Amino acid sequence: MKVDVLLGLQWGDEGKGKIVDVLTPKYDIIARFQGGPNAGHSLEFNQVKHILHSIPSGIFHENQINLVGNGVVIDPVIFKEEVESIMKLGVSLSEKLMISRKAHLILPSHRILDAASEASKGITKIGSTLKGIGPTYMDKTGRNGLRIGDLLEPGFQQKYQALKQKHRDLLKLYDYEYNLEEGEERWFEGIEEIKKYQIVDSEYEINNFLQQGKRILAEGAQGTMLDIDFGSYPYVTSSNTISAAACTGLGIAPNKIGEVFGVFKAYCTRVGSGPFPSELADDTGKHLREKGSEYGATTGRPRRCGWLDLVALKYAIMLNGVTRLLMTKVDVLSGFESLKICTAYKKNNRISDQVPYDLMEISEPVYVEMKGWNQDLLSVRAVKDLPDELHEYIRKIENETGVPVSIVSTGPDREQILFRDEQ
């Protein structure tokens, strides 16, 4: 068996949570491989929306194991809140939630460092979710971090105090007011909560599952344009978000990767700072934000909106080895007379279809115009009932990328999904 990977191809919030939830019945294990509670993955059923930050999006199904891999960073406070809200719905977690011993812990002081660093940057700030992601991955790569496995070791308190002291010293670099003890009590309560779940050597677990013929879906967080190496650096997150990270974030070999599902919105959004070539800072952008309810699932911040960017999409497909495209939010594009798709970037009068080293320097996106459609798509239940103009829009994407669009999502609910391969 192979591990299928599902990830975002844009700047995050592509609708990964919803699609994972829809695909979960086809799998035995759903595994998150990177990121942390900077993620907000929404899924909706029975008219209720659920937002997950650290726990994989397969959790609302009965029989699947949900694994938090070693590449993920965990904030015990957020973890506890999340499990409590899931358990309130009558979902039992202890049997089906596993956490890697090698996943790193976000300390209260990591969050303070994140805030202090952002505050010091002024207008050049990243627009971080302020969940402590950057400082935690810095400690991981700096070999100072605390891991889930440390919770079970006798020297945990000393390790915690030593790292906190390091952070106290670091914070002296900033002109920033803070209280290192604030939130500590809840953090330790969260630690006790984590200990109730199955803490595992997840690289062994996952490879054993594979040997047993179990089907595994790896769930990415953020999106390719936020990747630490290939995104619009420095306006990125602090982990690799591409398919390669499923290998390092779970402990599976590259030859074990099967399908790579690339999720993208029918248009583009971005939350936080940084370049966004096809951004619409006008009424059309506002319309997309309101119609698409484009407000951050983690921070509530308004998302910047713009037209579909094929240059960035093709780049993401190349980096991830995408085998199938999954397109979300087509319903939001209903009602436009015409739609634009960015097919190239223009810089100093030179046209290029590549993502440049510094996206900031792009002067102008080059667009093709497509005919829009008027039909309300929220209740469409068959591919053949989609408007011709949308078929044309999809064909354009398939022709440009050379990858089939296998799934089209027509609304936030589980039921609002069309499988193009099957019809």
Binding site for ligand GDP (CB under 6 A): 8, 12-18, 39-42, 44, 292-293, 297, 328-329, 331-332, 409-412
The alpha carbon torsion through 264, 404, 230, 355 (nearest 10 deg) reads -90
Comparing C-alpha atoms, which of 131, 191, 130 is closest to residue 160? 191
Per-residue tokens: 157: 């308190």
Residue 333 contacts which entry, ligand IMO, ligand GDP, Mg ion, none (Cβ below 5-8 A, type-dependent): none
The alpha carbon torsion through 399, 400, 401, 407 (nearest 10 deg) reads -60
Comparing C-alpha atoms, which of 183, 185, 73 is closest to residue 139? 73
Measured CA distances, 300 to 51, 162, 290, 296, 297 (Å)? 12, 34, 13, 4, 6
Q: Are 69 and 249 in contact (CB under 8 A)?
A: yes
Question: Annotated catalytic sites, by residue?
Answer: 13, 41
Binning the chain into helix, strand and coil, the percentages to the nearest 5 are: 35, 25, 40
Place of tokens 């690339």: 262
Distance of closest approach, residue 39 Cβ to Mg ion, in angstroms = 6
Stretch that binds ligand IMO, among 31-39, 81-89, 332-340, 379-387 (CB under 6 A): 31-39
Q: Are 308 and 280 in contact (CB under 8 A)?
A: no
Each residue 314-333 as x (binds ligand IMO by CB under 6 A) or -, in order, gives --------------------
Residue 128 contacts which entry, ligand IMO, ligand GDP, Mg ion, none (Cβ below 5-8 A, type-dependent): ligand IMO
Q: In the window 194-253, what residues touch ligand IMO (CB under 6 A)?
A: 221-223, 226, 237-238
10: contact with ligand IMO by CB under 6 A: no
Of 116 and 297, which has the nearer Cβ to Mg ion? 297
Of 199 and 225, which has the nearer Cβ to ligand IMO? 225
Of 39 and 107, which has the nearer Cβ to ligand IMO? 39
Separation of first and last alpha carbons in the chain: 26
Q: Give the residues across from 3 on adjacent strands.
A: 216, 257
Q: Which parts of this chain interact with Mg ion (CB under 5 A)?
A: 13, 40, 297
Q: Are 302 and 289 in contact (CB under 8 A)?
A: yes
Stretch that binds ligand IMO, among 10-18, 93-101, 248-256, 279-287 (CB under 6 A): 10-18
Peptide bond into 37 cis (omega under 30): no
Residue 54 contacts which entry, ligand IMO, Mg ion, ligand GDP, none (Cβ below 5-8 A, type-dependent): none
Of 306 and 412, which has the nearer Cβ to ligand GDP? 412
Please state, in angstroms and rounded to a whole number, the distance separating the CA atoms of residues 147 and 54: 15
SS3 (DSSP) at 260: strand
66: contact with ligand IMO by CB under 6 A: no
Please state, in angstroms and rounded to a whole number, the distance separating the CA atoms of residues 40 and 221: 8
Q: In the window 155-184, what residues touch ligand IMO (CB under 6 A)?
A: none
Q: Are 226 and 134 in contact (CB under 8 A)?
A: no
Residue 134 contacts which entry, Mg ion, ligand IMO, ligand GDP, none (Cβ below 5-8 A, type-dependent): ligand IMO
Residue 131 contacts which entry, ligand IMO, Mg ion, ligand GDP, none (Cβ below 5-8 A, type-dependent): ligand IMO
SS3 (DSSP) at 92: coil
Closest residue to ligand IMO in the complex (CB): 272
Of 270 and 420, which has the nearer Cβ to Mg ion? 270
Measured CA distances, 311 to 244, 277, 359 (Å)? 21, 10, 11
Each residue 267-306 as x (binds ligand IMO by CB under 6 A) or -, in order, gives ----xx------------------------x---------
Size of the site for ligand IMO (CB under 6 A): 25
54: contact with ligand IMO by CB under 6 A: no
Residue ranges that bind ligand IMO, judged by CB under 6 A: 8, 11-13, 35, 38-41, 126-129, 131, 133-134, 221-223, 226, 237-238, 271-272, 297
